[in-house]
Every structure is written in C-alpha cells, then in structure tokens.
Chain A
Amino acid sequence: MTIAVSFEKITCTFAAKGGGSYTAVKDVDLSIAAGEFVSVVGPTGCGKSTLLNVAAGLLKPSSGVTRIFGEPLAGVNRRAGYLFQSEALMPWRSALDNVTAGLEFRGEDKAAARAKGEDWLARVGLAGFGDRYPHQLSGGMRKRVSLAQMLILDPQILLMDEPFSALDVQTRSLMENELLELWNADRKSVLFITHDLEEAISLSDRVVVLSAGPATHPIGDYRIDLPRPRDVSEIRLTPAFIALHDRIWHAMKEEVLKGYRQTRNRTSA
C-alpha cells in the first residue's frame, strides 16, 4: 500500500501576541494511503487548518517532516489541490476563467482550456454560469466553482478545509453526494477537515479525532467500514452509522468541552 501523505512528528509553534508562543499542534503522526478518504475532526481552533496548510506546503512546520508519496515535502505541494475554508476565487475573473486559471498557469492552450473548463462547470452543475463573476453567484455555487477549479488540474491529493460548513443543510448533502461521486470515479487521496462528525463519518474511510489545543494531536483513529457507494442523507439513518457516531462522539465530547473552555479563557484573559 502506498502512502500518499504522511506527517512525521509535526509540530507548529506560532509567535503569540505580546511575546511568548503558542504551540498549535505537537508531534502529530498521521498518514493517508493512496486512494483513501480521511476526515479529521476536532474542536474549533485546535489546529485543523494548520495541519492542512502543512500538507499543502504553504506552512513550514516548526519541526517534523511531511512526506508526499515517500518524498519529503519542500515548498508548495505540487501534487495536491486545496479547497479553502474561506472565499478563494479571484473576484475579477468570471467563473469559467477561475476554473481554467490553473491550466492557464501551466501554459495550456486557451481553446482547449476553455472546453475543459466548460466541461467541469457542467460536472459540478453550473453549465451556463461560466460568464458570471463570483459576486453574482451564491455561496454554494462559489464552492462548486472552487471544486471544479481544483479538480480540473487532476491532483493526486485533495486537501479540503471545511468546504461545506457555510452551506445550508440541503445544499450541503447535495454537494457531499456530488463529492463522493466525483471521488468514486478515480479514487484520489483525500484529507477532509470538518468539525461535523456526521459529515466525517458519512464521507470517509477513516475518521481521525484531534484533541483540543494547545499541543493538539490525534486521540482517536476510527475505520469507517460502511458500504459504498453511499448516500449521505440515507446512511445517517442506518444502525451501523449510529453506533459509530456514538462511539466516536463519546471519545470526542470531553475534548470539545475542553476546547470550548480554553478558547473562552484565552479570549477573556
């Protein structure tokens, strides 16, 4: 089995306001096999985005090594696509031009890129919206454009940071199903961040639970052996899902409360 991403003793320490330092994640060991869909859940502010930035090569860890298909990562991870937590589209480019941006950076032929872009827009359900600018699209549509923008480059690794957390419940399960379908077509390695345990279980092969910060590290690693293909809203009603949810939630609850208390103390201090 090839390992797509592996964190080896990753520690990230940030300079805190007013001197001192804050260790967000400490000694994280985690690996994602090729073709595996892994979700990471954890209380807010624990260091999920930080870990994803390390995997993307956007953030150099204070110590530790990230290996991508066995090679130590230096600089930006060229094999990965990243779906950001917040708005990341270029507002001065139309939806189509946003989708084809990566191809343009690679210097691919304009007409071919356009055709491919139209095709990807159709695949994420936005055929005919190519000439809209980001501000003329809804939040859910913008996320779809981002998804197409990432997938058009056919990256081997997908890094996704709470991509659907800003969407309403219906749109969300729609997009989760779409994602699963796209992923099923050519099993890429996925590192999916979420704070929603149900979302994590219904999408993934494995769910990793992080402790509350500071010095966040994995405290649980659960294999999700629910059958595929799945429908995210139906699978939530199955007894197997509920049993898994109970088990993981039980382990998480203490951390969530701890994280909440710490965040509150940090802000009030």
Chain B
Amino acid sequence: MKKKLWIWQCLLLVAIFAFWHVATHPEILPPFVWDNPDRAAFFFGEPVKIFKAVYVWFAGGEIYPHLWVTLQETALAFVIGSALGLGIGLWLGLTPFASALLDPYIKAANAMPRVVLAPIFMVWFGLGIWSKVALGVTLVFFIVFFNVYQGVKEVSPVVLNNATMLGASRRQLLRFVYLPSATSWVFSSLHTSVGMAFVGAVVGEYLGSAKGVGYLIHMAEGSFDINTVFAGILVLTIFALVLDFAVSFAERRLLVWRPTQGETQPH
C-alpha cells in the first residue's frame, strides 16, 4: 500500500510538470488564452528551461556558495533564536512577577509583523548574513519562547515534588527537571522554528543582499527572467524539504523518551 502510494505521488509530480510543459510551450498547443504564443512562457516559465537552469547551477557549481550562505543564516537564526527563547522562556516561566510585567510587551512584539524590521536590521547589521540572521531570530524566538513558557508552567508538580524529595536543590530542579522538560517543548516546535529561520533567511536575502538563494531570485526578477525565478523557487523548495527531513531525523534521535502512539513492530 505504502509503496503504491509512493508511485502514485511520483506520477502526480510528473503529470504536473508535463501539464506545465504542454501548457507553456509555444508550439505544442494553439494559443487559446493569449494571442501571442510566447505569452504563457513569459508568465509561467518553461519547465525544460527551468530544469536546465537548475542543472547549470549545480553542474557549474555556481549555486553552492549561495546555498551555503542561506544554510548558514538558517542555522544561526535557529540556534540563536532557540537559545534566547529557551533562556527567556525559562526565566519568565519561573518568575511570575517578571512575566506579568512583560506580558503586554511580549504580546505586542509577537503581534508586530516582523518582516518590516528587515530594513532596520540592514541598517544595523549591514548587507551580510547577520541582518538575515537577526530577522530569522525574531521569527524563531517567539515560537520557542511561547512553547518553553507554556512547558515550564506545565511541568508535572508530582515530578517536581519527587525530585525535591530525592534531594534536588532549586538549581538542580532547574537543571534536571525544568530544562529537560522545556527542551522537549523546543523540540516539539522544531519543524515550525526551523521553517521560520529559513523564511527569515530567504526574505532577508530577497530584500537586500549580495549572496544567497533569495538574492538569486531577486536578481532574476529584476531582469524578468521568469525561468531563473522558478529555478530558484524549485531549489528553495527542495532545500526546505531536505531541512525538514533532517529535523525529523534529529527528532527521532533526541526524543526517544517520548511516548508515541502505536509503537508495536509488525512481524
């Protein structure tokens, strides 16, 4: 069943690209929407040319520095945003006064559309990777922060009391109970926060930079090179899928202690 589904999914992908090819190629179909046969290709690109562009990028090695920059930005934004979210989430979760005091500010900061900060970050951190990292951090931080904050509040009081009875000091409770419990919440939001770090990196590149996949797309758009734009989007999509796969892998390794449903093995 699973194998069959996989085949169907591949066939669907092929069908989509085939339809795209047939509908945009200037010579296969008579133009029924546009009077000019090249119009469809102008708006929607041509899959063959897109694949060629992707192939040239990878074969010529031109894409690797850009991918590397985007990966760096994503990783840095994720790590820094998660660390800040974890630290501040723990702190506010454990000090009711501070959390009550800061509550409206946190809500406001979270409600603000963070993308508008991108130009400000460019003024602060320049056009290099750090302005993109900063944008990613503002996106990742709140996801991790809210998860950790909630996680701290929901640590089982029985587990806490038990650790206390086993002789844990307040600091040991923080290290051996609150921190692992909060970390598991960070991991439960891993997919979303890695995705957000990626969005921050690409949007930042798009809005102003000299490197990265977002920059490639932006440049191609500037010269109305629709095929290169789609090639960039394709690369980004595959990149995101690989990233998501890596996250799933890390999750399986790190959260072995988590109960999952239906863990029996088939014979």
Contacts and interface: CB of A to CB of B under 8 A. Distances in A.
- The answer to whether A binds B is yes
Given A102-B166, A105-B172, A153-B166, A91 B257 contact: yes
A81 B165 contact: yes
A233 interface: no
A222 interface: no
A105 B166 CA distance: 8
A92 B180 contact: yes
B167 A58 contact: no
A229 to B, nearest CB: 28
A90 B158 contact: no
A89 B164 CA distance: 12
A58 B161 contact: yes
A93 B256 CA distance: 10
A225 to B, nearest CB: 32
B257 A84 contact: no
A106 interface: yes
Given A133-B256, A135-B257, A90 B165 contact: no
Contact of A84 (B158, B167, B168): B158
Interface string A76-97: 1110111010111111111000
A50 B211 CA distance: 64
B223 to A, nearest CB: 53
Given A133-B256, A149-B166, A90 B176 contact: yes
Say which size band chain A's interface belongs to.
Answer: 20 to 34
Nearest to B173: A105
B161 A90 contact: no
Contacts of B60: none
B167 A106 contact: yes
Contact of A93 (B156, B257, B259): B257
B168 A105 contact: yes
A82 B163 CA distance: 10
A135 B258 contact: yes
A153 B169 CA distance: 16
A105 B180 CA distance: 15
Given A101-B176, A135-B258, A88 B162 contact: yes
A56 interface: yes
Interface string B109-138: 000000000000000000000000000000
B167 A78 contact: yes
Interface in A7-58: 56, 58
Contact of B165 (A56, A134, A135): A56
A219 to B, nearest CB: 29
B162 A92 contact: no
Contacts of B163: 90, 101, 105
B23 to A, nearest CB: 52
Contacts of B99: none
B158 A92 contact: no
Given A87-B159, A90-B163, A102-B166, 10 more contacts: A77-B165, A80-B165, A81-B165, A84-B162, A88-B156, A90-B180, A101-B163, A104-B176, A105-B166, A133-B256
17 contacts: A58-B165, A77-B165, A80-B165, A82-B165, A84-B161, A89-B159, A89-B162, A90-B177, A90-B180, A91-B159, A92-B184, A93-B180, A93-B257, A105-B163, A105-B172, A153-B166, A153-B167
